Amino acid sequence: KQEVTQIPAALSVPEGENLVLNCSFTDSAIYNLQWFRQDPGKGLTSLLLIQSSQREQTSGRLNASLDKSSGRSTLYIAASQPGDSATYLCAVGDSGTYKYIFGTGTRLKVLA
């Protein structure tokens, strides 16, 4: 059974810092991995999608990497801003069923 773990559970950093959020999964048979942002009381906003054949994706200040063999993904946020404060969720797409298995998220607070 696929299990997804995110470390750390919470993170507080001063504005301007570069930071790394970690996601690990137990079964490498995935078809993609997606990073989401969730603001309080809101749904999920897709940040980056990495297909299983890809190693990384970039969008603006965000870079996500995928190492399927080791069951790891990282989300790198450059030059963090207070507006980046949110919960970041990692989800792996299960091969064959297409459902997403989510981690419990990292709650990020960027201090001005």
Partner 1 sequence: GAGVSQSPRYKVAKRGQDVALRCDPISGHVSLFWYQQALGQGPEFLTYFQNEAQLDKSGLPSDRFFAERPEGSVSTLKIQRTQQEDSAVYLCAGGTNADQPQHFGDGTRLSIL
Q: Where along the sequence are the contacts to partner 1 (CB under 8 A)?
A: 4, 31-32, 34, 36, 41-46, 49, 89, 91, 93, 97-105
Q: Is the peptide bond before 40 cis (omega within 30 degrees of 0)?
A: no
Residues 6+ apart with CB under 8 A from 31: 51, 52, 93, 94, 95, 98
The span from the CA of 71 to the CA of 67, in Å, is 6
Task: Supply the minimum distance, in Å, between the C-beta of residue 102 and partner 1.
Answer: 3
Closest approach, Cβ 15 to partner 1, in A, equals 26
Nearer to partner 1, 1 or 69 (CB): 1
Minimum distance from CB of 20 to partner 1 (Å)?
Answer: 19
Q: Which residue lies nearer to partner 1 by CB, 84 or 94?
A: 94
Q: Which is nearer to partner 1, 18 or 42 (CB)?
A: 42
Vertex 94 angle, CA 6 and 29, to 5°: 90
